[in-house]
Structure 1
Amino acid sequence: MADKYGPIFTIKTGVHRALIVSNWQIAKQCLTMNDVENATLQMLRRKQQEETQQQKSTETKTFASRPKLVSSEVMAYNYATFGLAPYGPYWRYVRKVAMLDLLSSHRLELLKHVRDSEVQASMTHLYKRCMESYSGAPKKVLVDMKRWFGDITLNVVFRMIVGKRYEDKQDEKGREALRSYFDLTGKFIVSDAFPILRWLDLDGYERIMKKTTQELDRVVQGWLNEHKSRRSTNKRRGDNKDSDQDFMDVMLSTVDAAEELPGYDADTFIKATCILSLSSIISTRALVLAGSDTTSVSLTWTLSLLLNHREVLKKAQRELDTQIGRERLVNESDLMNLVYIQAIIKETMRLYPAAPLGVPHESMEDCTVDGYHIPKGTRLLFNFSKIHRDQHIWSDPLEFRPERFLTTHRNFDVRGQNSELLPFGSGRRMCPGINLAMQLILLSLAALLHGFDITTLADAQVDRAEAIE
């Protein structure tokens, strides 16, 4: 459609209008310019800000909101999960808490032992499998790598949020509710396109969502009660080690220190924010209708590309041998030196962003984009797959060439600073878990490539053709 209709066009999704942007310059305009103002006034205002050295972020509020979907209401505590919440005082408050207290560099540093231990535990499991089949000579072991990557992600995120491994949970109903949660949030619901039909629940999904949400709330409330009890015990003992605090502990401390929580009670605030932390790292299915586990999907794409480009795989392993050697294991402090592996990850996210259309925004007021009038309430989708393959920016855009991020595009990052490369989005609504996701992706891939030789059955190419699962 972008090839046919151009870099900006609108479609109707039921009764809703959606703006599709497939050009990085227009995307930047949507994310960083306040299009409601006259261009002359914008220039004057920017000049005044520069003169007084008080210029703040130019991120526009126009597209800072989210559409109100049925899944966001039913499964996200009535929009209390801030990744799905409309723009307003509550969203601003929770965003501040998430960025400063939960997903800050300091908090991630305190919990880096969780990532290290889970990655090494998974490596040990692979090693044992190899040794079980060892009979005097090396032998290949067949491994479902998407599941292996997914297990690492789940266990890391669960330990960081609630202090327990996902595999350690024995509550089968709770596990099923969690699996259903990620599945249901990715379903197309008729009433999202035609709200007037919601009372009929034509596809039956809202009824299933309510049942799943009730079960999941039971699980999350159980975690919260455990933390409250442990917190009370630790206070009596005078034991309050910051390094041992998981996200739920931090949220309880935040609630204690807060004078007022805008809009929701304390328990709802904590549960919704912890579910956000889980979903922002594990999955964005709630809104993109494509992809599932974004971290494991990115890792699976990376490994698939490496297996189809063996020279790149060997070059990555040579970098690991040079920077780390073979006498010890990879740890997080090594990642900054693995520039070629970083380039591989960037190139993978360029070609195959885990959320190809990004997470939808919604305009809060009338505005102008690229000369077009955009009415209030219009939904905005960024066509990242198209933006990332712009031949004016990327030479041979369909080719897998990590070296471009060591030469012509060496200053590009994936953290929203370059509108030509936006796998995590940008601006006010950029994925809050980007730092954790990147650390986990880099560490998992580096440890795997450093520890094992990897190939496919019969050394065949990985089939990357699209299919319906």
Structure 2
Amino acid sequence: MPPEPAGSWPIIGHLHLLGGANQLLHRTFGVMADKYGPIFSVCHGIRRVLVVSNWEIVKECLATNDMVFAARPKYLAVKIMGYDHAMLGFAPYGQYWRDMRKLTMVELLSNSRLEMLKHVRDTEIKLLLKDLHDRSIKNGGHVMVEMKEKFGNLTMNIIVRMLAGKRYFGTDTNGDEESARFQKALGDFFYLLGLFLVSDAVPFLGWLDFVKGFVGKMKRTATEIDSAFSSWVEDHRRNRLNGSIDEEERDFIHVLLSNLEDGKISAVDTDTAIKGTCLVSVYDFCHQVQ
């Protein structure tokens, strides 16, 4: 067993050593690593967490013993907002995880599929440049622009168009209510997903998360996100029923519907698998931008 820092308390474990408004977690772990070595464990409430700070040990964990570390513990936020862990990145290791990972890598993220959707990236870049040019002309050739927001909108429009053929961010979205609600719901999702919840560390104290209002906010956010994703899936189903779809118009949801509804993959709930994949795609791309 790896060494464990002294000072663990009943129920909360080492949580009291990891908190503090002016205390950065990675620096706390760095100090512990200097004392206890490149691998040690801490108690995160009732959960035992392995902390590794050596590349050789990391390789041992994620390459040699990757199957052991493939799964993740279940969290309340992912259960409520992430379709009960149907998001690939948070799904427990098993047949569903293997099937969805294979489908994602072969059908969605293959070089041929990304090349087929190259026109989406080209169009969005042209729209961004046109917007910057129009702003410059309107202001006499000089204008200050927050490029972080622009690049964020660019990336999000690319991924949402590749997923569902829609534009939800930046210009040309007409400021419609659906776009605004989706953007707000995503912002709330990322905020709530990053919160520390008592129930994740000490499950029998989970009622504190209800008292603080976190659970209610998560349920409302989940409803908003699910409403958007459900409309995407239903729109694509109608398009499939109304006639053939050009190969260039086959976005990710079309591909997922073809594979899941044709029985090519084992999934208990087709819609949940599709919406979970959409959500994890948006989640991953947002983190790349940040």
Q: TM-score w.r.t. structure 2 length? A: 0.81
The alignment partner of 2:72 has SS state of coil
> What letter matches 2:256 in structure 1?
M
Cα distance in 2 for residues equivalent to 1:240 and 1:276: 25
Which of 246, 250, 257 in structure 2 is aligned with 1:245? Answer: 250
Q: 1:279 to 1:197 in 2, by over 3 A?
A: same
Residue 4 of structure 2 corresponds to none
Q: How does 1:131-170 map to 2 (within 5 A)?
A: 131-134=137-140, 139=142, 141-167=143-169, 168=173, 170=177
* Structure 2 spans left out of the alignment, 5+ residues: 1-28
Match of 1:61 among 63, 67, 84: 67
Deviation readout 1:376-418 (Å, 9 max, x if unpaired): xxxxxxxxxxxxxxxxxxxxxxxxxxxxxxxxxxxxxxxxxxx
Distance 2:158 2:136 in 1: 24
Partner of 2:224: 215
Partners of 2:144 and 2:261 lie apart in 1 by 50
TM-score, normalising length from structure 1? 0.51
| Rounded Cα–Cα distance in structure 2 between residues aligned with 1:66 and 1:8 | 19
Given the alignment of the two structures, is residue 96 of structure 1 paired with residue 96 of structure 2, yes or no?
no
Q: Which residue of 2 aligns with 1:447?
A: none
Displacement of 1:79: 0.9
Change (3 A) 1:223 1:156: same
Give the one of 112, 124, 132 matched to 2:118.
112
Which residue number corresponds to residue 278 of structure 1?
Answer: 282
Asked which structure has the greater CA Rg, the reply is 1
Hey, what's the Cα distance between the residues in 2 that align with 1:102 and 1:203? Answer: 39
How far is the alpha carbon of 1:148 from its aligned partner? 1.1
Residue 322 of structure 1 corresponds to: none
Partner in structure 1 of residue 199 of structure 2: 191
Distance (whole Å) between structure 2 residues aligned to residue 202 and residue 99 of structure 1:
41
Which region of structure 1 is more displaced relative to structure 2, 141-150 or 154-163?
A: 141-150
Contact 2:47 2:201 in 1 (8 A): yes
Give aligned-pair identity as a percent: 40
Amino acid at match of 2:206: R
1:174 shift after superposition = 3.5
Q: Is the CA contact (8 Å cut-off) linking 1:173 and 1:215 kept in structure 2?
A: yes
Equivalents in 2 of 1:147, 1:173: separation in Å? 18
Give me the whole-angstrom Cα distance separating, in 2, the residues matched to 1:120 and 1:11.
Answer: 50
Q: What secondary structure is seen at the aligned counterpart in 2 of 1:282?
A: helix
Match of 2:235 in 1: 226
Q: For 1:174-230, what per-residue CA distance to the aligned partner results, in whole angstroms no more than 9, with x for missing partners? A: 432222122211111111111111244243211211121122211211111111111
Q: Which residue of 2 aligns with 1:266?
A: 270
Distance 1:248 1:190 in 2: 36
Structure-to-structure mapping, 1:364-443, within 5 angstroms: none
State the alpha-carbon separation in 2 of the partners of residues 174 and 280 from structure 1: 17
SS of corresponding position for 1:117:
helix
1:33: how far off?
A: 1.5
Determine if contact 1:189/1:203 at 8 Å carries over to the other structure: no
Partner of 1:2: 30
**Are 1:23 and 2:54 matched, yes or no?**
yes
Question: C-alpha displacement at 1:127, in angstroms?
Answer: 1.9
**Paired residues, number:** 252
Contact preservation (8 Å) 1:70, 1:192: yes
Contact kept? 1:190, 1:203, Cα under 8 Å? no
Q: Which residue of 1 aligns with 2:18?
A: none
**1:223-252: CA deviations, max 9, x gaps?**
111111111112xxxx33211111111111
CA–CA distance in structure 2, aligned partners of residues 113 and 122 of structure 1: 14
Aligned-partner SS, 1:19: strand
CA shift digits 1:292-350 (9 cap, x unpaired): xx32x2xxxxxxxxxxxxxxxxxxxxxxxxxxxxxxxxxxxxxxxxxxxxxxxxxxxxx
Shift of 1:106: 1.2
Matched, 1:81 2:113: no
SS of 1:274's equivalent in the other structure is: helix
Using the TM superposition, give the Cα deviation of residue 2 of structure 1 relative to its aligned residue in structure 2, in angstroms: 1.9
User: In the alignment, what sits opposite 1:177?
Assistant: 185
| Greater share of residues in helix | 2
Residue identity matched to 1:26: I
Deviation at 1:92, TM superposition (A): 0.6
The CA deviation at 1:150 is 0.7
SS in 2 for 1:83: helix
Secondary structure in 1 aligned to 2:41?
A: strand
Judge conservation of contact 1:74–1:210 (CA < 8 Å) in 2: yes
